[in-house]
Amino acid sequence: MKLGSNEIKKLIPHRSPFLFIDECEILERGKKGEASRVFKDDEFFFQGHFPGNPIVPGVIIVEALAQTAGIIVSESLTEYDKKSVLFMSVNKAKFRKPVIPNDKIIFEVNYINNVKNVYKFFGIASKENTKVGEAEFSAMITYAKWSYK
């Protein structure tokens, strides 16, 4: 199942300038998916990271992986518009190659496990079939007091 920007915004609360997913494909409901993002040269963080040599910060790569997992989990839940996905931890993060303006990055995430409402995933970010980063991370699903629609 392929999701565009409008469908993604129904599943997670992130909005510009902090939504780092352009589209997402759910490969296995609640378990596995792949998203993408083209980091344009006018992204807000390039102004300071780094002038004259813009590079996407590693924390943005990890956040995009987590957003991908949030989309995948949220889509699999009933009444997902009443739930929120909250980042809890990141482990084993590695950054292998720089991501520069106009790079298209693919974010692949795979479910590891969940205990009650805490889900753990492993993700790989890549460009042109070359791994640029990876991380293991967890998030908690909670009831939201708002709707993202």
89/115 Cα distance (integer angstroms): 14
CA distance to 46, 55, 64, 100, 101, per residue, from 52 (Å): 9, 10, 24, 11, 12
Q: Which of 9, 10, 49, 120 is catalytic?
A: 49
Secondary element (H or E) of residue 72: helix 58-76
Is residue 14 flagged as an active site residue?
no
Please confirm whether the linkage preceding 54 is cis (ω < 30° from 0): no
Q: Which residues pair with 29 in a beta bridge?
A: none
Which residue's entry shows tokens 């590695």? Answer: 94
The torsion angles phi and psi of 80, rounded to 5 degrees, stand at -65, -20
Which residue's entry shows tokens 């102004």? Answer: 47
Q: What are the catalytic residues?
A: 49
